Chains A and B, each alone.
Chain A
Amino acid sequence: MSNYPPQQQQPRPYYQGQGQPPPPQHPGQQSPYGVPVNPQQQQYQQQPLKPPGGPYGNVRPGGPQPGHQAIRPGPGQLAPGVRPMPPGAGGPPARPTNGTPPHQQQQQQQQQHSYTGGRPVGPPGARPPTGVRPSIQQGRTDVPLQAGMATISPHHPNPAHAQTPTPITTPATQPQSPPRPQLPSFPHNAAPAPGQQQSYQQQQHPAYAQQQHQQQQQQQQQPTPPLANQQVAGGINGLNAQMSAMSVGANNAVNTPGYSQVPSQGPPMQSEAAKPKAGARAKRVFASDPSAPPPSSGMAPPPPAIPQPGMETQNYGQQSNQGPALQQAGYAQHQQPDASYQQQQQQPPYMAQQQQQHQHQQPHLVHQQQPHLAHQQPHLAQQQQYGQQPMNQSQQFRPQAPAQPAPRPRIDPDQIPSPVAVQEADQEEWDHKPFVTSLRTSPTPLASSDFMAIDGGNCNPRFFRMTTYNLPNTEDLLNTSQLPMGLVIQPLAQLRVDEAPIETVDFGDAGPARCRRCNAYINPYMIFTNGGQRFVCNMCLFENDVEPGYFCNLDMNGRRCDLDQRPELRNGTIEFAVPKEYWNKTPAAAAYVFAIDVSWNSVQSGMLHRCVTGIKEAIWDHNGVSKLAPGAQIGFLTYDKNVHFYNLSPTLEQAQMMVVPDVSDVFVPLSDGFLVDPQTSQSLVESMLDMLPQLFAENKTTEAVIGAVVQSVRMALESRGGKLVVFQTALPTFGPGALRHRDELKLYGTEKEKTLYAPQDDFYKKLAESCVDAGLSIDLFLFPNAYVDVATLGCLSSITGGETHMFTNFNADRDGVKLAGEINRLVTRPFGFNALMRVRCSTGLRVAEHFGNFHMKNSTDLEIAGLDSEKAYGVLVKHDGKLDEKTEASFQVALLYTTADGRRRVRVHNFSTPVTTLLGNVFRWADMDTTINFLSKGAIAQALSKPLNEVREALTDKCVKILSSYRRNCASSTAPGQLILPESFKLFPLYTLSLLKSKTLRGGRDINSDLRVYQMRMLKSMGVSESIVFFYPRMIAVHSMDERVGVMDANGRVFLPQLVRVSYARLSPSGAYMLENGQRLFLWLGREIHPQFLQDVFGVQTLDELDSSLRFLPELDTQTSSQLRMIRTYMQAQRARYMDLTIVRQGKDQAELDFSNLLVEDKNNEAMSYVDYLPTIHRMIQTEVTTRPHEVHTGIWSHR
């Protein structure tokens, strides 16, 4: 909280204080906006000076997110800032101003200026002059560049840099390389914004038309005068750091300008709309998101680009509105020269190119936008903030575009928000400092980042992530935001080696101190009163007596004197050793039982052989020492039509096989000797395993009775619990739980398809539930050659908290390595069982729903037979009333479980987070990674009751709703034609698209119901960091690695080569790329790969010599080889599943199809490409916003 308030408060003061000054800067128009604007600007200015963000800045130096937002006035600011603005004078006035073109222009200019931070200030002066324009242009270009720079690669870092230096740096950077390509997306916004703004200003001053023209001119000019931008920046600073906001506004403005220009065509309306918005935004920004502004300030330069962060505008449709001429993507959108100008202006350097691009694009855009035009037209060519990005991008790209004669992308793909840039920026930030969980000032690291967290009272984000870290105080506010309010909990997540291990506290027989009313466990947020005699529960506010044994005096600060000795009062995550009353059965170390199908299929496919090898390797290391938790026991059984148990008692000379033929009423035929210590029975077990393939070599049986196997193991482990790993090859058609083949192609895509995703009968469900009671979790390895009904069989693992693995058409040579790897993962990773999990939340909130793989008997407790470090659970939280924004909301996740080595524990994760009344804050602190994960879990739940295409539509719809909510409520002042995205959510459309392209949800008959259900269940329990890469694979170029890469540092961190966006267009035929999505790992070798690389890595000269069936990298004594192998190891270490390596030679290997399907930015998987999807989303947002424009001002604003 502390952090937040300050931020918010600070900004305000800044604004005020600063704002006041700035207002003067800004002429009358500004006054309305001015105040807010200025403040922002000031802030920015200040910030730059004194990393005003101080805390923020520091906290999130690089972070584009909240801090960033602030920093990058653009995105964050835009959104938040914008909103505030409106309320402020800005909003209203803006519109009116809009009403008057000049005003608008002015406003825009002002805004822009303000956003741009000081720059605008300067610019204002400059604006009028053409010189300014050029500067603007430059600025834009620069800005974009900067923005791009800042936003993209170093989003986070950049922001930091950008914030203060942005203005200046940007230019510098910009000049260096029209960074656009690199960072265009984010920065662009900012950049363009300013540029636009400027242009707007300029334009505005004149007339719309003039403006447009000017813009165009500017653009043209701008390119050359990048310096101007800098200057402008300076001026802007002067104007207002608000630039950020400005930028936003700028963007808007820009857009607007563009629009305005456009408007010139369709004059007042557009201009008005645009302008007011811009103004509104700016104002709002200041007002509402004080914090936002700061960022803006910091971001000042980027602001223009920033708008992206906060909101990204895209000029898609508007152009069309305006006129075919304008490129939709382009701000000004070709429609009208103005727009184009704007764009051009922004893009100065590329202007020409841009223009060209615009032109090129225009047609496309036009197409796309045309439909929108209708809507947009009235609003001018305002373009989405995307637009900004896109514009930037488009602008930037356009240049590129030409290079790549791909007229296709209407939008320059480099200009649209790039996860690569975002992730790298975040990663860079956390590379150098730890994340302190208790500091509310810094955004939570992205799920994709490898960071080190210090437990400061809140639990590590590895354990617990929320969809937003500023909870809306009312349900209305939440509904307005359209965001889900949820948690994703990964209770046993593995900590990084350099993170402090979780402490265990033993309260003896009394058990841990708990709230008497709500049973919450003692935690750092409980407040001791009455001199330490009582404590107030942070969940239910009940005042409890402190047990005499737990009493301690309070010091002057009201803290217990023994705080240092009480980790439970300090740490967000703690484990309690618990007494007998917490036992449901005597805790015993986990038992691992392996059940192997030995029917014909299994033997023939070589699965059996690989399986036993894999098991041996998983249990014992090279020295024959067990890798399992101490005390853990192992047991084996094989089965076909019968179930074979093995007596492995170390007293025997040889393992004894016991066949249970009575599968309809199965039982466990032995008590001792079934579960044995892996150490004492090692030789017996190994010889038994070695024998298996031979024993069943002649087996002609094709049935495999998995039902009976599970029943029997459940009986065997009833008193202790553990894990059952089943290797099954076929649909069970015999014995208990015999299933019928029900998978029919003709059902796909029909209403009945969903029935295939539900179990065909209750048998396995009930069986699994009984396993839950026994504390037995089941992992399924399926090796189907045909339908196996994962929907039904998979219940076994989904209900018991296990997981399913699919090896379709298992080929020992191809899949053997992966199989062994998965077995190893499964056996060796942290494991807990017999678990009961409960999520408590503080008064005013309630837990409404749980997602994941578990069983529930009542509405509050998750019964989890077994869980490991990779399992995550989603929790939907709802309001139970109005929250007090002065206190924080608390969550407590209590997991009662038995550790793998047989100790009963309660692991408690505590999390406390601020409550806000501002929608802007909700968005700024929203966590897109978590949201996507959360939404995917929800979508899966829906897929059981709705046809897939409806689910897909619903997802897109959700995406649109969220974004348009932001657009409507936080950036309403922008021109409707602009695509404005919250900084935190700028990748949302991309991930939504990726989600749609995942095998879980994508269309296509090649995804049979088995695969689908398998994917669904997997996703249901997937953690956030896992899901992020699952949706958007991580790809790195490995053909030219420098020495830093692929070397493990002291912290176990390995630096990876720069990430590459996953699109075929990014692949160079002479390059080699590694791509992973947490499931598979590809090494793609371009057709023109340098022979030296092949020689270094594979020891061959040509691609043709390379055996692409290789599943591992040969150990060659070359640097490249060792780097590659280290990278591979490092990547693997971060993933839940074993990723076997697939080598793909361009144009040679069939696996390239699988590979290309993972390139989610391309058009594939029956869904459009990113560059196509974004405009689509934009269009829908526009529709949404324009059809219900009045909602814009409801909700949040009214609260204020």
Chain B
Amino acid sequence: MNFEEIEDQDGIRFSFNAWPASRIEATRTVVPIAALYTPLKEREDLPLIYYEPVTCKQHTCGAILNPYCQIDPRGKLWICPFCLHRNQFPTHYRDISNTNLPAELLAKHTTIEYTLARSAQIPPIFLYVVDTCIDDDDLKALKDSLVVSLSLLPPQALVGLITYGTMTQVHELGYGECPKSYVFRGSKDYSCKQIQEMLGLTALANRPQQPVRPGQPAPPTGGSRFLLPVQQCEYNLSSILEQLQRDPWPVATDKRAQRCTGVAMSVAVGLLEATFQNTGGRIMLFVGGACSEGPGMVVGTDFKERLRSHHDIEKEDVKHYKKASKFYEGLAKRASTNGHAIDIFAGCLDQVGLLEMRSMVNSTAGTMVLSDSFTTSIFKQSFQKMFEKDAEGNLKMGFNATLAVQTTKELKICGLIGHAVSADKKTASVGETEIGIGNTSAWKMCAVSPKTTNGIYFEVVNQQGQTLQPGSRGLIQFVTHYQHSSGHFKLRVTTVARSWAEGNSPIIAQSFDQETAAVLMARIAVFKAEIDDGPDVLRWLDRMLIRLCQKFGDYRKDEPQSFRLNDNFSIYPQFMFHLRRSQFLQVFNSSPDETAYNRHILNREDVNNSLIMIQPTLMSYGFDGEPQPVLLDSVSIKPDTVLLLDTFFYILIFHGETIAAWRKAGYQDQEGYENFKELLEAPVVNSQELLVERFPIPRYIVCDQGGSQQRFLLAKLNPSTTHASGGQYGNAPQGQAIFTDDVSLQVFMEHLKKLAVAGTS
């Protein structure tokens, strides 16, 4: 079973699929034992079970019955593999036998989903927070998108609307007589309590749920004024949306509009907090510019004040950054505590302060979509894609999820890198080392999609000498509890087992999944980069790479030429090379917002997508054969080919010089040149295929060699040919010369070999 198959079945990929048996050996493997797990991985044949799971009764364990459990059909017992507690099967399992096993005990059902009897009282909540300080065109497009989205929501889903500009307005949708909204000052930091009081929610929030007498409509809760089922308020809401006007406050020509994103979010969080605590919901922020007023202010209103750059942040020459970040972190914490996800849809050419706001999205496992304008298809389609439905018409999203991980005792959890917050659950499985969000064995994700992928890191705690029985396996159980958009609570359980192996065993090297490892390392690097200086991270990454090469390379000491890597390690250095150059770790040429956005996406995607981000794919289309992947190298640029670059964030079609000239001349439209036409169309068709699955929708760029847009391509290519690498004797360099001082992959590899074999490092 290869990695992909496992991934298809369990949604999980490990860096190592066989684990060193002792702690020391485990550390020597350099790349930690870790997994990229996609809890809601879509699977056609996912076994759906409509009864409650059987859990281990050991009070600190609570593991769920799985195929790796030993069972005693006669004694109607099962042994929890994690705590070794012997559990009695519940009475309705009395007919159990080796031939008559419940689904969860079937070996193929290592991943199983229980649909729990308990269902959510409250349908999912969607609270739109809409920026009105935007151009009329933008606003119109945004309004249209929002109105359309109402039809995409489940009819019973609750919706609410907050608009903001200079001030924040909470629209009371339950008010029939006229459009009514509560307005909050944009420049003031409202406490949660204040917001609740002002919205008249205090009493309701404090009042314990009163038993509802049958036959009587539920007493109007605070929420019923601001958050109503779509089917009930669609008319009101769409008319409000249609009448939505651009923020009317005058803006001087040398000023930015006053935009109180911070307050709007604070109000939104407060509103949900007061009305629907711990209920699945999303706050969707549509922001058209940087917050310029009140708490969470990213930049002043004066145009003289520029938005902060990486450089400014590095020099700590930023007035608002820390304050704003702290403010949004506070909101993020509250929202995540209450189980509400925050999404940010940015439609602005300039930065909108994603950097500061990122914690809101990252902590709550929301989504981020960065587009230039709300009129772009990037926004429109991405937004619609949010509401994709499955076969049964339910939204492909889960709410208010908790991911709990259980390990056998040799293995401990270091942490999680991805979009989640710690659920602060300390069990025996929690290890000492901390990677990412640690010190817990459970995490909360306010929203999960089938794409959501988290990196979970483990450490081996088995001391050397405590030999394990040969053939023994380590077990990890992932239990994801979430609220399905249909209102049911579901529990997805994935239990994986991997063999222990002796430290020097080649099995370990063979079990290495270099792709997964690269992504996992990238996540660590990015995580570190958020905290540490860029260069430190790069050095760390280099060091780790060298050590890995030293550990698993095949070489003779001090002889770089002798260095060889196994196949399953061979492209890992290349990943690292591109990772080092990627926008995730290099901030040059990226705005802080873009960096935050890119990192956000990286932390969410699965292995394949992540790899595309790290090392984009390049396809070459030519007359002489099928399209073929080519090296992400400047040498791949040829005048008579069309290249298709996929960086995940954008898809770029690049016409070589000749092709471009032909195209310009319009040959593709002439008879007799159908083949040329096909050549031109082929990459377009392929790119469309890529677009379908992609979220957010990537940017689509078509460019010609020599055009300004080619920079997007050149930035990604390995600069094997640069302006400096021209032949000494006037040889024209092969391919396109890239103006960069960066080292090329070749140089990088040579250095790597040199260092790897150097013996000491």
Give A contacts to B, CB under 8 Å: 642, 644-645, 649, 651-662, 665, 667, 669-673, 688, 691, 694-695
Hey, which chain B residues are within 8 Å of A673, CB to CB? 248
Hey, which chain A residues are within 8 Å of B4, CB to CB? none
User: Residue B250 at the A interface, CB < 8 A?
Assistant: yes
C-alpha gap A667/B183 in the complex (Å): 9
Q: A-B pairs with CB below 8 Å: how many?
A: 70
User: Residue B197 at the A interface, CB < 8 A?
Assistant: yes
B177 touches A695 (CB 8 A): yes
Residue of A nearest to B242 (CB): A653
Residue of A nearest to B249 (CB): A671
B185 touches A659 (CB 8 A): no
Hey, which chain A residues are within 8 Å of B181, CB to CB? 656-659
B198 touches A695 (CB 8 A): no
User: Residue B98 at the A interface, CB < 8 A?
Assistant: no
A-B CB proximity, top 5 nearest = A661-B198, A669-B183, A672-B248, A657-B180, A659-B182
Hey, which chain A residues are within 8 Å of B177, CB to CB? 691, 694-695
Interface of A is mostly: loop
* 30 A-B contacts (beta carbon < 8 Å): A642-B182, A642-B198, A649-B245, A654-B178, A654-B179, A656-B179, A656-B180, A656-B181, A657-B178, A657-B180, A657-B181, A658-B182, A659-B172, A659-B181, A660-B182, A660-B184, A661-B200, A662-B184, A662-B185, A662-B188, A662-B198, A665-B185, A667-B167, A669-B169, A669-B183, A671-B249, A688-B178, A691-B177, A691-B178, A694-B177
Residue of B nearest to A659 (CB): B182
Q: Within residues 171 to 199 of chain B, which ones have a CB less than 8 A from any CB in chain A? A: 172, 175, 177-185, 188, 190, 194, 197-199
C-alpha gap A661/B226 in the complex (Å): 14
Residue of B nearest to A655 (CB): B178
User: Residue B253 at the A interface, CB < 8 A?
Assistant: no
C-alpha gap A688/B177 in the complex (Å): 10
Q: Choose among A645, A653, A669 the residue with the greatest number of B CB atoms under 10 Å from its CB.
A: A669
C-alpha gap A688/B182 in the complex (Å): 17
Hey, which chain B residues are within 8 Å of A670, CB to CB? 183, 248
C-alpha gap A21/B239 in the complex (Å): 100
User: Residue B210 at the A interface, CB < 8 A?
Assistant: no
C-alpha gap A194/B69 in the complex (Å): 136
User: Residue B243 at the A interface, CB < 8 A?
Assistant: yes
B190 touches A669 (CB 8 A): no
Query: Quick one: given A642-B198, A665-B188, are A658 and B169 in contact (CB under 8 Å)?
Result: yes
C-alpha gap A694/B175 in the complex (Å): 12
Hey, which chain A residues are within 8 Å of B199, CB to CB? 661
B183 touches A659 (CB 8 A): yes
Residue of A nearest to B176 (CB): A695
B243 touches A652 (CB 8 A): yes
A660 touches B183 (CB 8 A): yes
- Minimum CB–CB distance for A637 against chain B, Å: 12
Residue of A nearest to B243 (CB): A652
C-alpha gap A657/B180 in the complex (Å): 4
Query: Quick one: given A661-B200, A662-B194, are A669 and B178 in contact (CB under 8 Å)?
Result: no
Q: Within residues 575 to 615 of chain B, which ones have a CB less than 8 A from any CB in chain A? A: none
C-alpha gap A657/B182 in the complex (Å): 8
Chain B interface size, as a band, is: 20 to 34
C-alpha gap A673/B249 in the complex (Å): 11
Can you list, as one digit per residue, whether each of B234-259 has a CB less than 8 Å from chain A (1) or not (0)? 00000100010100111000000000
Hey, which chain B residues are within 8 Å of A662, CB to CB? 184-185, 188, 190, 194, 198
Q: Choose among B194, B245, B249 the residue with the greatest number of A CB atoms under 10 Å from its CB.
A: B245
- Minimum CB–CB distance for A615 against chain B, Å: 17
Hey, which chain B residues are within 8 Å of A658, CB to CB? 169, 180-183
Q: Within residues 540 to 587 of chain B, which ones have a CB less than 8 A from any CB in chain A? A: none
Q: Choose among B182, B183, B185, B239 the residue with the greatest number of A CB atoms under 10 Å from its CB.
A: B183
Residue of A nearest to B239 (CB): A653
A669 touches B167 (CB 8 A): yes
Q: Choose among B172, B178, B185 the residue with the greatest number of A CB atoms under 10 Å from its CB.
A: B178
Residue of B nearest to A643 (CB): B183
- Minimum CB–CB distance for A675 against chain B, Å: 12
- Minimum CB–CB distance for B519 against chain A, Å: 47
- Minimum CB–CB distance for A645 against chain B, Å: 7
- Minimum CB–CB distance for B365 against chain A, Å: 31
- Minimum CB–CB distance for A717 against chain B, Å: 16
Hey, which chain A residues are within 8 Å of B182, CB to CB? 642, 658-661
A661 touches B248 (CB 8 A): no
C-alpha gap A652/B248 in the complex (Å): 13
Contact of A661 among B175, B197, B243, B249 (CB under 8 A): B197
C-alpha gap A653/B244 in the complex (Å): 12
B179 touches A657 (CB 8 A): yes
Hey, which chain A residues are within 8 Å of B239, CB to CB? 653
Hey, which chain A residues are within 8 Å of B180, CB to CB? 644, 656-659
C-alpha gap A662/B250 in the complex (Å): 23
C-alpha gap A1048/B250 in the complex (Å): 53
Q: Choose among A642, A652, A660 the residue with the greatest number of B CB atoms under 10 Å from its CB.
A: A660
- Minimum CB–CB distance for A586 against chain B, Å: 14
Q: 9 extra interchain contacts, Cβ-Cβ under 8 A, other than A656-B243, A658-B169, A662-B198?
A: A642-B182, A652-B243, A657-B179, A657-B181, A662-B184, A662-B194, A667-B185, A688-B178, A695-B177
Residue of A nearest to B179 (CB): A656
Can you list, as one digit per residue, whether each of B213-248 has a CB less than 8 Å from chain A (1) or not (0)? 000000000000000000000000001000101001
- Minimum CB–CB distance for A598 against chain B, Å: 13
Hey, which chain A residues are within 8 Å of B197, CB to CB? 661
Q: Within residues 139 to 179 of chain B, which ones have a CB less than 8 A from any CB in chain A? A: 167, 169, 172, 175, 177-179
C-alpha gap A691/B175 in the complex (Å): 13
- Minimum CB–CB distance for B294 against chain A, Å: 12
- Minimum CB–CB distance for B321 against chain A, Å: 26
C-alpha gap A670/B248 in the complex (Å): 7
Hey, which chain B residues are within 8 Å of A691, CB to CB? 177-178
C-alpha gap A657/B197 in the complex (Å): 19
C-alpha gap A671/B249 in the complex (Å): 6
C-alpha gap A662/B170 in the complex (Å): 13
- Minimum CB–CB distance for B642 against chain A, Å: 51
C-alpha gap A667/B190 in the complex (Å): 14
Residue of B nearest to A669 (CB): B183
Hey, which chain A residues are within 8 Å of B194, CB to CB? 662
C-alpha gap A649/B245 in the complex (Å): 11
Can you list, as one digit per residue, whether each of B435-464 has a CB less than 8 Å from chain A (1) or not (0)? 000000000000000000000000000000
Hey, which chain A residues are within 8 Å of B198, CB to CB? 642, 661-662
C-alpha gap A673/B243 in the complex (Å): 13
Contact of B183 among A645, A649, A652, A665 (CB under 8 A): A645
Hey, which chain A residues are within 8 Å of B200, CB to CB? 661
- Minimum CB–CB distance for A654 against chain B, Å: 5
Q: Within residues 84 to 114 of chain B, which ones have a CB less than 8 A from any CB in chain A? A: none
Residue of A nearest to B181 (CB): A658
Hey, which chain B residues are within 8 Å of A661, CB to CB? 182-184, 197-200
C-alpha gap A661/B270 in the complex (Å): 14
Contact of A695 among B178, B179, B184, B188 (CB under 8 A): B178
C-alpha gap A657/B170 in the complex (Å): 11
Hey, which chain B residues are within 8 Å of A642, CB to CB? 182, 198
- Minimum CB–CB distance for A50 against chain B, Å: 75
- Minimum CB–CB distance for B434 against chain A, Å: 42
Residue of B nearest to A695 (CB): B177
C-alpha gap A655/B177 in the complex (Å): 10
Contact of B250 among A649, A652, A671 (CB under 8 A): A671
C-alpha gap A672/B199 in the complex (Å): 24
Residue of A nearest to B187 (CB): A667
C-alpha gap A656/B178 in the complex (Å): 6
Hey, which chain A residues are within 8 Å of B188, CB to CB? 662, 665
Hey, which chain B residues are within 8 Å of A659, CB to CB? 172, 180-183
Hey, which chain A residues are within 8 Å of B184, CB to CB? 660-662
- Minimum CB–CB distance for B180 against chain A, Å: 4
Residue of B nearest to A688 (CB): B178
C-alpha gap A48/B616 in the complex (Å): 122
C-alpha gap A659/B194 in the complex (Å): 15
Hey, which chain A residues are within 8 Å of B179, CB to CB? 654-657
